[in-house]
Structure 1
Amino acid sequence: MAAQGKADDGPRPASSTTPPSSTAANPETGPVPTLASGAPSVGASVRDTIVGLTNPVAARGVGIMLGGSAVLLAHDLAFTVLQIVVAVALFGSAALDVRYVFSGRRRWGRQRNRAYVMVRAILTLGFLGLMGAIAYLTDAREGLGLALAVELFAFYALARAVLVILSSIRRRAEHRAIRAAGGVITGAIAVLAIVSPLGAVEGVLVAAAVGSLVLGALLIAWGLKYVENPDRTTIDPYSTTVAEVLWDWIRTSDIGRETRAELADGLYFEGEDRLSKLGAWWVMLVLSVAIATYAVLADSTAVVIGAMLVAPLMVPILGLAGALVNGWSRRAGQSVLMVGLGTAAAVLLSYGLAAWAPVAVGFDTNTQIVSRVNPTALDMLIAVAAGAAGAFATVNTRVSSGIAGVAIAVALVPPLAVVGISLANDRVGEAAGALLLFLTNFVAIVVAAALVFVLTGFARQKVLRRNPWGVVATVAPYVALGAVILVPLAFSSQGALSSSAQSREVQQVVDAWLGDGSDLLVQSITVDGSDVTVLLVGPGEAPDAAELQTALVDELKRPLALRVGVTPVDVTSLPTATPESWRSNDGS
C-alpha cells in the first residue's frame, strides 16, 4: 500500500550499509535473515523471496494458501474428506460420551447426567450407522448421509437463532445488536442448509477456501515485511498467533491522519465547496439515470456501460463503509441519506422517462432487463469483489484509476432504471427483482469495503483499539441484511442451476433420440416444471415423439408432458449449371 511506509515504527535500514544478504539480530531467536537492498538481479530476487518465505509466519501463510487451493482445485476430494471428518467427529463425540458414562471424567464441558449422556452417545452412534448405510446403499459421492447430518444440525441452529434473537430483543444484554445480527445470520444460513444442505456445504467450503487464500496472502506479506525490516514490530514471529499478526498488520498499515483526511474529502460532501460537490453529484446522478433508462429501453449494452461509468452512487456507499469502521456516526448518517435519496430519485426519474418514452418494452426479450430481474448468488459474489476493489483503489493512489472498472463491474444505477421502467409498465415482479439486485450490490459493497478499509489502514487505530465491539456492532446489521438477501438469491441460483442441469440432460436424450444421421437440428429446449418443449428445424420427419417422452421420463424420473415442434426446411438441389456462352463455344 502506498502509505504503509509512513506507519513503520522503526527506521528502515539504509541501502548503503545493508549487504545483499544480511541478518538482523533477534534477542530471543538469534539472527534473522533480511532481504537484499537496492536493485537486485533476478537471482538475488529469487533468493530474497526464498529467504522471506523461511519466516515462520510466511511459511504458515504458504501452508494455509496451499490448503485453500487444494479445496478449490480438488472439489470431489475435499467433499469426500469433509464427509470423513464429520464421521470421525461424530464417532469421537460418541466415544468421549461413553468414556464419561463409565469413568465420570471429562476433559472439557459441563458435568451432565450420565443417563442423558448415554442416550446421546447411542443416538450419535445410530446416526453414524445410518450415514454409513446410506453411503453403502447409494453413491457415496452424492453425500446423502452428510446432507442428512447438515439438515438436522440446521434445524437445531435455526431454533437456537430464534432464541438468540428473542432474548436480544427482550433483555438488555451486552452487545445486543451483535447478538441479534448473529442470530439473523445463523438463521439465514440454517434456512439455506435446510433447503439445500449440500449446496450450503459447498458454499461453506468455497468461502473457507477463499478466506484461507486471503489470510495466507496477508501472513506471507507480513512475513516478507518483517524480514525486510525486523524493527518494524515488537512481536516474535516464532511464537506469535495469527490474531496478533493480523492486528500488527492493521497497526503498521495506518495511513496517517493527513492521508485519511484527504481521502475523506473525496468521500464526503464537506468543506467550503460542499454545495458545489452536492450539485455536481446530483447532476451526474440525473444524467447517469437518463442514460441508463434510455439504454435499457434501447437494449444497448454499450450505452449501459457508459451509464455505469458516470454513475456517482459508488461514492456515498464507499463513504458509508469508511464511516462505519472509523466511528463517524454523522458521516455514516449523511452517506445513508445520500444513498436513499439517490435511489428514490433514480427510480422516480426512470419511471417518468419510461412512461413518456415512445418505445414498446419487451420484458421477455430485452437482455438488459432479463439480466437484472433474476439476481443470483453470483451477483453478490461479484459485488463483494467489486466492493473490495473499489475500497482498495480508494486508499491506494497507485490503482485509483481502476475505480472506473469497478463501476462497470458492479451496476448500481442500471438496476434502479429497470425498477422504474418495470413500475411504469405495471411489472411489479420485475421491479422487485431489480431492486433486490441493487440491494445485493449495496450491502455487498459496504461489507467488503469496510473489511478492506480496516486491512489497508484507513480505519483509525484509536477506534479499533478502544472500541472494537462498537465497530463490529455498526457493521453487523449490514452483514445480517446480506445474509437475509442471500436466501432469495440462493433460491434463484438453485432454480437456475437445476434448470440448466435438466436442460443438459434433456439435450442428451434428444440427441440420442434423433440419432447421428438425422438432418434435424435442435433449435431450442425449454423445461418449465413438468412441461418440456423441444423445437426442431430441418428437412425430414422427426422420430416418434412417444419414444422421446418415455426416454425423458426414465432419465428425469418424474412425470413429464412433451411438446415437439418441427419447422420444415424445403431444400431444392440442382446440378451444376454453366453459362450460355460457354455452351455456345463448346458447340453444345
Structure 2
Amino acid sequence: MSEIEKDTQQSKDAVRQDAKGLWQSLKIFMVELLDFRADTDREATMQHIKNDIPFKGATAWILICSIFVASIGLNANSTAVVIGAMLISPLMGPILGMGMSIAINDIDTLKKSLINLAIMIVLSLVTAYLFFRFFPLGNQETSELLGRTQPDIRDVLIAFFGGLALIIARTKKGTIASVIFGVAIATALMPPLCTAGYGLANGNIPYFLGAMNLFTINTIFIALATFIVLKVLRFPMIKYANSKKRKRISQLASLAAIIVMIYPTITFLRVLKNSGFESDYNSFIQKEVELNNDLWFQKGILDTDKKIITLYFNGEIADATVTDLRNEVKGYDNIGDFEVLVNGNKNRSFDKISDAYDRAISDLDEKDNIIAGLQSQIENLKNEIAGMNAKNNSFSFSEVSKDAKIEFEDLTSFGFSKMLVSNDFRTVDTVNVASVKWKKALSDSVVKIKETQLKDWLKKQIKTDSIVLKND
C-alpha cells in the first residue's frame, strides 16, 4: 500500500471516529436532557401524595369554595374565573393516590384514595347543584358549560399529558411541583363536576352523563399517567411478611391496573373514532356541499350510531346531485360506509321561486301603471277645478278680505260665495253673496252707510254689476 493510500485510509478512520464521537456526545446529551430519574425523591414523593389523600376540615371547605368559584365562572362564561378556581382546587390528592397505590402494590392507600375521591365527587356535585338550582342566573347555558358535555380526543390527551407533567414534577426534588401541582389536575377535573351539577339542577340528564364521562376519563387517564411514571422510575413495591397476602395483594393490584387501563383504552379508541367521523364529516360538508353554489344548503346531521348523514336543502335536489353526493362520501376513510339522506324542499325549488319572482315583478309593474293612470286623472281634475275657479272667481278671496279690512276697519267678519237662485223655478241664475259682520258699537244708521260703501267697493274689486250683502 502506497503512502497516499495510507494517508487516505487514516483520514477516513479519523472521520469515522469523529462521527462516532459526535453521535456518542449527542446521545449522552439527549439522555441527560430527558432523563429525570436522577432528580427523583421517592420517599418524599410517596409521603406527600399520602398526605394529600385525606379529605376533611380545611380541605373540604377549600373544595366547596373552589366549586362555587368555578360554577360562577362557567355561568358567567368567564375563562379567567374558571382558571382561578382551578388554582385552589384540592381534587388532585386522591387521584394521585390511586395511581401510586396501584404502581407500588399498596392496597390500603388505594382504599383510602377511592373513599376520599368518592367523598370529593359527592360534595362537589352537591355544591354545584345548589348553586345552579338556586342562583337567579344559574340556568344560563354558556360555551364554557357546553364545552364539558361532549368529550373528544383532545380532552383525553389533555388529561394524560397533564397527568404526566404533574407526576413528573411531583417526583422532582425542589419546588417545581408546587408551581404546577394544582393546575395540571384541576384544569381537567373542576369544570366537568360543575357542569354535572348544572345538569342535575336543571334536570338535563344528557349534560350530567356527558360531564361525568369527561370527569371519569380525566380521572383515569391522570391516574394512568401517574402509574406509568412511577413504574418507569421504579418506585419500590411494598413487601408483605405474609407470602399469601403479598401474592393476593399483588394480584389485586395487577387486576386494578388492568381494569384501569381497559377503560382508557376503550375510551381513547372510541373518542378517536368519533373524532375521525367528525373530521371527515366536516370536510365533506365544506368541500362537497357548501362550496357548491347551486345547492342551497340548510343544515346537516351526523348520526354515528346509525351511520347516517342527513342533509337538508332549500329547494328541490336533482337525482343526479343526490347520486353524486353519495358517491363523494365513499372517498372518505371514516364515513365511507355512511348512508347519505338528502331532503329537499320541493315547494321552494328554484324554478318555482323564479316563477313567483317573475309574477311579483309583473304585478308590481301592473300596479305602477294603475297608479300612474290615477295620478294622471288626478292632475286633470286639478286642472279642471283650477280652470273653473279661474272662470268663476276672477279674484283672490284672501287679497279681497285683507283689503276690505283695511278699507273698513269696523268689519269683524267677511265671507263671499256664489249662490244659485231660480225665480221662476225654470231658469237658474248665479248671485254673488257677501256675508259681513260689524262691530256691535256701530249704530244702525252708520251700518247702512258702510254697507252701501262696501257694496260699491266690492263691485269694483270682483268686477260684477250686482252683489247681495248679508249682515250676520
Report the TM-score when normalising by structure 2.
0.55
Give the match for residue 526 of structure 1: 300
In 1: Cα distance, 2:127 partner to 2:203 partner: 16
Deviation of the 1:261 alpha carbon:
6.4
Shift of residue 475, structure 1, vs aligned partner? 5.1
Aligned mate of 1:293, from 71, 74, 85: 71
Letter in 1 for 2:223: V
Provide the residue aligned with 2:198 in structure 1. 421
* Equivalent residues in 2 for 1:306-455, closer than 5 Å: 306-359=84-137, 361=139, 366-398=142-174, 399-400=176-177, 401-407=179-185, 410-455=187-232
* Identity between Structure 1 and Structure 2 (%): 20
Q: Structure 2 matches for 1:173-184, cutoff 5 A?
A: none
Shift of 1:412: 0.8
Pairwise CA distance, 1:471: 5.0
Closer, same or farther in 2 for the Cα pair 1:488/1:460, shift >3 Å? closer
Q: Is the 8 A contact 2:86 2:190 kept in 1?
A: yes
Separation in structure 2 between the aligned mates of residue 383 and residue 352 of structure 1, nearest angstrom? 27
Whole-Å Cα distance in 2 between the matches of residues 280 and 421 of structure 1?
25
Counterpart residue number, 1:163: none
Alpha carbons 1:374, 1:492 under 8 Å: kept = no
Structure 2 CA distance for partners of 1:450 and 1:509, relative to 1, 3 Å = closer
In the TM superposition, what is the alpha-carbon distance from 1:478 to its structure 2 partner? Answer: 4.3
Deviation at 1:426? Answer: 1.4
Given candidates 48, 66, 79, the residue that maps to 1:263 is 48
What's the counterpart of residue 483 of structure 1?
A: 262
SS in 2 for 1:289: helix
Deviations 1:110-154 (A, max 9, x none): xxxxxxxxxxxxxxxxxxxxxxxxxxxxxxxxxxxxxxxxxxxxx
User: How far does residue 368 in structure 1 lie from its aligned partner after superposition?
Assistant: 2.1
In structure 1, the residue corresponding to 2:150 is in which secondary structure?
coil
Report how many aligned residue pairs link the two structures: 310
Shift of 1:357: 2.0
- Counterpart-to-counterpart distance in 2, 1:439 and 1:559: 34
Larger radius of gyration between Structure 1 and Structure 2:
2
1:326 and 1:471 in contact (8 A); partners too: no
Alignment of 1:108-187 (within 5 A): none
1:303-355 per-position Cα deviation (integer Å, ceiling 9, x unaligned): 22222222111122112322333344333322211110000111111112111
**CA positional deviation for 1:260:** 4.7
In structure 2, the CA distance between the partners of 1:362 and 1:483, relative to structure 1 (3 Å rule), is farther
Change (3 A) 1:475 1:370: farther
* Partner of residue 501, structure 1: 280
Which AA in structure 2 matches 1:311? S
Contact 1:254–1:461 (CA under 8 A) maintained in structure 2: no
* Residues 351, 421 of structure 1: 8 Å contact kept: yes
Alignment match, 1:474: 253
Say whether the 8 Å CA contact 1:316–1:338 is kept in structure 2. yes
CA contact (8 A) 1:263 1:395 kept: no
Instruction: State whether structure 2 residue 326 is matched by structure 1 residue 553.
Output: yes
Measure the CA separation in 2 of the matches of 1:488 and 1:263.
30
Displacement of 1:472: 6.9
* TM-score (normalised: structure 1): 0.45
Structure 1 CA distance, aligned partners of 2:48 and 2:268?
A: 34
Following TM superposition, by how much is the alpha carbon of 1:265 offset from its aligned partner in structure 2, in angstroms?
Answer: 6.2
Q: Distance in 2 between matches of 1:287 and 1:413?
A: 12
- Residues 190-339 of structure 1 correspond to what in structure 2 (within 5 A)? 220=31, 255=41, 257=43, 259-260=44-45, 263-264=48-49, 266-269=51-54, 278-339=56-117
Equivalent position SS for 1:526: strand
Measured on the aligned residues, the alpha-carbon RMSD in Å equals 4.0
CA distance in 2, matches of 1:489, 1:371: 18
Q: Indicate conservation of the 8 Å contact 1:307/1:414, yes or no.
A: no
Distance in 2, matches of 1:387 and 1:348, equals 26
- Tell me the secondary structure at the aligned position of residue 188 of structure 2: coil
Q: Which amino acid aligns with 2:283?
A: R
Cα distance in 2 for residues equivalent to 1:390 and 1:336: 19
Aligned equivalents of 1:361 and 1:438: distance in 2?
A: 21
Q: Is there any run of 5+ residues in structure 1 with no aligned partner, and where?
A: 1-45, 63-216, 226-248, 270-276, 536-542, 567-588
Aligned partner letter, 1:556: V
Do the aligned residues in 2 keep the contact of 1:419 with 1:434 (CA within 8 Å)? yes
- Contact map agreement 2:311 2:340 (CA 8 A) in 1: no
The CA distance in 2 between the partners of 1:454 and 1:463, in whole Å, is: 16
Change (3 A) 1:503 1:296: same
Please report how far the alpha carbon of residue 290 of structure 1 lies from its aligned counterpart in structure 2 after TM superposition. Answer: 0.8
Residue of structure 2 equivalent to 1:167: none
Contact 1:499 1:527 in 2 (8 A): no
Shift of 1:360: 6.3
Equivalent residue for 1:82?
Answer: none
Measure the CA separation in 2 of the matches of 1:549 and 1:453.
56
Deviation at 1:436, TM superposition (A): 1.1
What secondary structure, in the 3-state scheme, does the structure 1 residue paired with 2:149 have? coil
| CA gap 1:436/1:264 in 2 versus in 1, 3 angstroms | closer
Name the one with the larger strand percent: 2
Q: Distance in 1 between matches of 2:205 and 2:268?
A: 18
- Give the superposition deviation at 1:47: 10
- Unaligned runs of at least 5 residues, structure 2: 1-18, 303-307, 331-338, 350-472
CA contact 2:149–2:207 (8 Å) conserved in 1: yes
Q: Tell me the SS of whatever aligns to 1:501.
A: helix
Residue-by-residue CA offset, 1:497-531 (whole Å, 9 max, x unaligned): 2133123122212355217xx9x9x8x75333342
Give a deviation string over 1:3-29, Cα, whole Å, max 9, x none: xxxxxxxxxxxxxxxxxxxxxxxxxxx
List 4+ stretches of structure 1 deviating above 6 A.
46-49, 466-469
Following TM superposition, by how much is the alpha carbon of 1:545 offset from its aligned partner in structure 2, in angstroms? 4.4
Deviation at 1:417, TM superposition (A): 1.1
Aligned partner letter, 1:422: G
State the 1:477 CA deviation. 1.8
Residues 395 and 512 of structure 1: is their aligned pair in 2 closer, same or farther, counting only changes over 3 Å?
closer
